[in-house]
Structure 1
Amino acid sequence: MASRWKILPRIVAQSGPKHSASVIWLHGSGDTGPGVLEWINMVWKEEFQFPHIKLIYPTADLIPYTPNACQPSTVWFDRQQISPMVPEILSSVDASAAKLNDLVQNEVDSGIPLSRIIIGGFSMGGGMAFHMAYRYQREVAGCFALSSFLNNESVVYKKLRNVEDRSALPPLLQCHGTRDELVLFDWGKTTFKTLTDLGDTGLGVLEWIKMVWKEEFQFQHITLIFPTADPIPYTPNARQLTTVWYDRQQISPMIPEILSSVDASAAKLNDLVQNEVDSGIPLSRIIIGGYSMGGGMAFHMAYRYRREVAGCFALSSFLNNDSVVYKELEKLEDRTALPSLLQCHGTRDELVLFDWGKTTFKTLTELGVCGEFHEFNIFHEFNKKELQILQRWILDKLPPD
């Protein structure tokens, strides 16, 4: 198909004779493709290249840019100001997206499938990459954004909320400086949090673990299973379909659980556990755990449904203050054989407060659960030290035969 516009001016860096993948790197406001390439080479101290990957650095068109007194600037879109609090000028975003779609199609026409293309960028370029990867080209291999953000009411979020199956969304790499004075760190962090809170997947958490661990997180004698929850209407997300293990009125330990929603997921997870048992793995050789809401679901599985499992872990997780988990444990006459618990939590967590996790651990141990609790100076996330503790704990509970 013929392009409606001339393909954007761009500079290409390719070290091998033939490429089998492409990376499209979008510059920040007022910069150019050659400019960002020179900056990368200056920081990298040598040519930043891959023998099998073509690096493409396009340059945005000159358009009037409001934060620059409406002077013509090489920017991917106009905006009223550099702030997540103002609405997007969607017509401006979409004008650049149309030209970038042509650039992507040019790579596809040359034999590079979307699954071998990554789109990313720096500053405004990363903002544009969010739109490309999560609105227009969701089949790409990934998206990266360096020192970037989305507006609080971005159409990207709205479009993603309407996607029923988010399991195949492009993985995201986001980096941000804590001392950034132009694009504040909290703006980037909020963007990442919102994108991931739209509903993670089994594949998503696996990719995150790999990113933190820097290599494959695996064991020779253990199968790691990363299931994805069904998309269901999720009240904290305006009842939009979201891959969550259960619905809740809000993210708080002060409100009652919606037990019917918890039990619906538990029934499916019980089938998953039974499948392992039927394949020859005894319950005593199975661990159930998770991150955030996944850890909350793991509490129900290990201390209500599958008390014979070898252990339970919960990272950045909590139970409601009047959880049925507590009530069912109180009814047990013999609590000596309950699954061991590993719980970890960031002291700076702003989504699932540290005290919520600490209170959950305290209540469970008072009810007879034996476990260990580790705290870290991090936000709602996990780090490599936490994964190292988890690795050690898993091997302790599930040693090789």
Structure 2
Amino acid sequence: MSIDRAGLNALMEITSRPELVFVRGQGSWLEDHTGKRYLDFIQGWAVNCLGHNHPAMIEALTRQSQQLINPSPAFYNQPSIDLAVRIVESSCFDRVFFANSGAEANEGAIKLARKWGQLHRKGAYKIITFDHSFHGRTLATMSASGKAGWDTKFAPQVEGFPKAELNDLDSVRALIDDQTVAVMLEPVQGEAGVIPATREFLQDLRALTRERGLLLIVDEVQSGMGRTGRMYAYQHAGIEPDIMTLGKGIGGGVPLSALCAREAVCCFEHGDQGGTYNGNPLMTAVGVAIFDTLSAPGFLDEVNARGRQLSAGLMALSDKWGMKGERGQGLLRALVMDRDDGPALVLAARERTPEGLLLNAPRGNLLRFMPALNVTADEIDTMLAWLDDLITKARA
């Protein structure tokens, strides 16, 4: 099969894409238009938590598509109720609002916090976020993000997001004033290069926000749904946030996200929040299938085992090549290199023959690994062997 170049030009240019078209996928493997296979350790940026075309997802999509796809969010539907109940029963939250993307869920969290500030903190609206954080690509979530250069990209920014330093409680404390309503953070900063918030920092931050009467918001768009070895990453610290957002893995590849909150924080009035497709039964039926697979006995134990395997393998590569170690939680990990080899290794991995390897370099000196949560031990060993060979050739 050849590439339709006129067809490629019909797509708006928003990023540099290689000239290959993926046509099918199964588990940890993708196949392009030429028939070449690729071992996928990106999985849609931690989206495909069960890999490509998992049978439980296909069955849920097929079954639900024959019953009801979209009755409108003005009415209840059973799959959205079923998924909301599962999230509530597995977390510290009482209510769930479903949306279509992580950015949309985070936008909802910002709105909910500001509404709560109007009602309970004399109009306080500022939300302390963190340098190098990533919360989405809407104007408000870009403003909330601490990504370098985003403060001028679509200026003026949405005001009210002072930036603290992750794992530095004093930097948070210094930013609190009478206009502060909340603190918002990723338990693991993904786009920054897989930087976890420490257990101690999260516990101290929860204590500080309670002491000052502020909300604590955890953005678990990337870290939630089993990615770190617990269903939700905040659970590693033994804390209870006020608001949580989910995305990516909650749908396993279909557009689905969630805004979760404790009852005391749920202050939206009718008309404050909505969305044309939000919580539609086709997407939430898939979410139920994903949730039930992740919560099956032994599944997260296997995620943790594979996470330890990947961590040990990356550390061995780091030691062999004089790199700077590895970090992360569960199956969200990064190899910290001693030079800016990342982009070149990503390219060489993709162009590898006869089978390619899909990797991600969020920074020049970093490789990030986000495999399917059901990745096999053999697939991790294969990836590590291929990566060692690629590093050998790059440094020859």
TM-score bracket for this pair, using the shorter chain length: under 0.3
**Superposition TM-score, scaled by structure 1 size:** 0.27
TM superposition score normalised by structure 2: 0.27
Higher relative contact order (CA 8 A, sep 6+): 2
